Amino acid sequence: MKVNKLAPEKGARASSLKWRNTKAQRCTTRVNLSELPSTPVMVKMIKEHQAAVKKKPKVKRLERKAMTVSGSKEKKHTSFESEKTYLANTNGKSEVTMNIDADDWQEWSTNGKSSLGNGEKSADGVETVSSGRLEGESFHCCAERDEDRNHAVLVMQKSQTLCFRGKCLLTCLYGRVEVMGFTIEEGQQPYPLFSPASHCPLTVTALGSTDDARDEGMEATAILRKYLTPASQIRLLRKINLNSSVILLEPMETSLTRFLCSFPDLSELFSPPVSELMSAVLDTPLNGLGMIPLVSDVEGLRMSKSYREALNTVVSACRDDGDGCVVVLVCGTKNVGKSTFIRVLLNTLLNHTTGIDYLEGDLGQTEFTPSGCLSLSTVTEPLLGPPFTHQRTPEHMIYYGQTSCDSDLDRYLESMKSLWSRRPQSRDTPVVINTMGWVKGFGFQMLVDVLRLLPVTHVVQLGHGESMHCATLTPDLLQTAQGYLTKPPAHTAMDEFTEGHSPARTYAHLAVQSAFQGVGRQGASKHQRSNELRELSLLAYLSQLQEAHQGPVRQLNCLTPYQVPHTAVAIGVTHCEVAPSHVLYAANASLVGLCCLPEKVTSRGGPVVLSHAPLCPCVGFGVLRGIDMARGLYFLLTPVDPSILRNVNCLLLGAITLPSCILTTQSGCEEEKPYVTTDYSFDLTGAGKMRVFKGIVRPGQVGK
């Protein structure tokens, strides 16, 4: 593909990663922060809350304890020498000098040792730790905010939790905390947390410190002095003990959040939904940072016993991988929490290794790409938010073009085999495979095929209630189940006496019963339906077109497109049959996959139209903003780097459409908006999409 922009080549990707504990080596550039404006809805909520709430709310206790964390690092004890001490900077591992006045230190140390943590005072005047959910007046006892620098420091005792809506940047200053299975320790980089209304709210759980010999008073003094005023330091120091965790919370604004919130329907995406308004704690030092705590009436992520046992089993297997890499396949019907389980699993594994391979097999709810893709990625950073908050370019990707594979099962299986073949067989990192929620009929046969085609070692099958809503995928069932392409192995009575007979394949089957609220049902609130989640992922991908620095959001019609000659690329349709003369009409103002054909594109002077959808690598996506037939040019908007665009020679149009808000909110269009019209009739012949089913028959018709 010839383009009119050039950019320096990007660095090569790191080589294969080894299984070891290297969490402390993670250190990336901090995200730029900015003041978060208060929306009218939130201002109204705060006023109503202050007028309605008169009495002190009671603190409810959490029934479950935090999960135990293994493999944590030991912290070095820091000594205090005269009036100056050298402490490790908790935000990057570099050493800084802290000047501590001796008198202040002695007074603060006495106050700190005479208290046990944030909670209620006992008869002798000593505070007792209050475990469970932080809510109500607890925040005024354990949190302090610096108005000038616009951040807050929160002290949490072991097993205490903070459940919230919103977004923020979290840095662990002292102790350890856990979020979605990932342990954040002092000395590590700040991590962005996203808790939008579209998904279950995030929960931060305090794990305490692992070093019983450290001098918490002196270290805490140096930490608090760096981030708070003297008065705030004294108040919080009394709450810190060896089992405390101290976290720094800062507001966060990125090009992604600015772009999403620029659309009217998404302006309250990071605010509590209507069902949680009465459970929001609005009068706390944290509210001005872009996060709203929730009381214990609102549940965070609920893990059943089988949920935790499956996580522990897989992690133990990965740590004891003496017989090759562990390959985990996660399956289950729709709305049972497969994606959430995978995020928790990946985060938990990242506590022990530097990377995990992830094979995406769910076309409808993809994790790292817009929907309609099958991909292979290496995960090296924790996933502390829903899929639209961590869109990234996979190592290998194939654009299938639909959210379901029911119209072309062969192409789906060939794509999965192609992606697996691109993974180096010598790589020893664990692999996690996501699958579709289609588990009946041909969907079940596809699962059987994937299990036979890939070297799976563990199958995690999620269900709810008292059943898995499909046959239990045990190794014994695989010996008799019929696949779409594969058949069960043939057995004879003499097999066990035959020298060349190979034993049946085996793997560990882990049954998980999901227990979260609303399991088995699609979310009914705003931003929770499956089509809305797909649109959020696509909008998040297109947000990469925005400038990285803090500036006004530019709509797509205001951006400068690439000019691509018709003769440089071929164009095709993946999901239905379109007459060659109508392909350009269908592709205009649509999302296209940027693909690389192995053969060179040859043209006789006009557009090159493919007769069928090829199976080829995809490097990203673009919006075909316009077509100039006179000059023979495509006008393409894409965030893909120009150095990669040089290899693109194919544009594939699928059934993944642009969100309507992209077209209806075009700026600078006072009258009629481009690509938008109300003068259209679906009664016209050919006005609707013509679907073609390739050899699919109902299961009851097989063999007739």
Q: Which residue has the higher pLDDT, 35 or 550?
A: 550
Q: Is 540 exposed, middle or buried (0-12, 13-18, 19+ CB in 10 A)?
A: buried
What mean pLDDT comes out for the span 291-314?
A: 91
* Angle, in degrees to the nearest 10, between helices 442-453 and 409-421: 20
How do beta strands 590-595 and 650-653 pair?
A: antiparallel
Q: Which residue has the higher pLDDT, 333 or 433?
A: 433
pLDDT value, residue 250: 96
pLDDT value, residue 6: 40
Q: Could you tell me if 428 and 354 are in contact, meaning their C-beta atoms sit under 8 angstroms apart?
A: no
Query: Two tokens at 365?
Result: 């709810």
At residue 117, does pLDDT exceed 50? no
What mean pLDDT comes out for the span 69-96?
A: 36
Helix (H, G, I), strand (E, B) or coil at 586: helix
At residue 1, does pLDDT exceed 50? yes
Mean of per-residue pLDDT scores for the chain: 79
What mean pLDDT comes out for the span 317-326?
A: 80
Q: Quickly state the pLDDT bin for 688 (edges 50, 70, 90).
A: low
Q: Which residue has the higher pLDDT, 643 or 558?
A: 643
* Listed range (12-16, 30-34, 215-219, 307-311) with the worst mean pLDDT: 30-34
Compute the distance between CA of residue 388 and CA of residue 544 in angstroms, rounded to an integer. 12
Count of other CB atoms within 10 angstroms of residue 133: 24
Q: Could you tell me if 284 and 157 are in contact, meaning their C-beta atoms sit under 8 angstroms apart?
A: no
pLDDT value, residue 668: 63
Compute the distance between CA of residue 21 and CA of residue 585 in angstroms, rounded to an integer. 54
Q: Could you tell me if 263 and 170 are in contact, meaning their C-beta atoms sit under 8 angstroms apart?
A: no
What mean pLDDT comes out for the span 262-279?
A: 90
Q: Could you tell me if 6 and 645 are in contact, meaning their C-beta atoms sit under 8 angstroms apart?
A: no
Most confident of 68-72, 83-87, 327-331: 327-331
Count of other CB atoms within 10 angstroms of residue 452: 17
At residue 377, does pLDDT exceed 50? yes
Q: Quickly state the pLDDT bin for 565 (edges 50, 70, 90).
A: very high
Compute the distance between CA of residue 565 and CA of residue 338 in angstroms, rounded to an integer. 43
At residue 256, does pLDDT exceed 90? yes
| CA-CA-CA-CA dihedral for 290, 292, 298, 299, to nearest 10 | 50
pLDDT value, residue 609: 93
Residues in the chain: 704
At residue 422, does pLDDT exceed 90? yes
Give tens-digit pLDDT for 503-549: 667 899 999 988 777 666 776 677 888 999 999 999 999 999 998 77
Q: How far is CA 35 from CA 28, 254, 458, in A?
A: 22, 12, 46
pLDDT value, residue 213: 67
Q: How far is CA 494 from CA 71, 498, 501, 502, 702, in A?
A: 49, 6, 9, 12, 31
Q: Is the dihedral of CA 448, 454, 458, 461 positive or negative?
A: negative
pLDDT value, residue 39: 53
Compute the distance between CA of residue 212 and CA of residue 387 in angstroms, rounded to an integer. 38
Compute the distance between CA of residue 303 and CA of residue 208 in angstroms, rounded to an integer. 21
Compute the distance between CA of residue 226 and CA of residue 239 in angstroms, rounded to an integer. 17
Most confident of 288-292, 322-326, 377-381, 700-704: 377-381
User: Which of 365, 255, 392, 437 minimizes the C-alpha distance to 656?
Assistant: 365
pLDDT value, residue 40: 52
pLDDT value, residue 143: 93
Kindly state the helix (H) or strand (E) to which residue 619 belongs, with its residue range.
strand 618-628
* Listed range (9-13, 441-445, 536-540, 599-603) with the worst mean pLDDT: 9-13
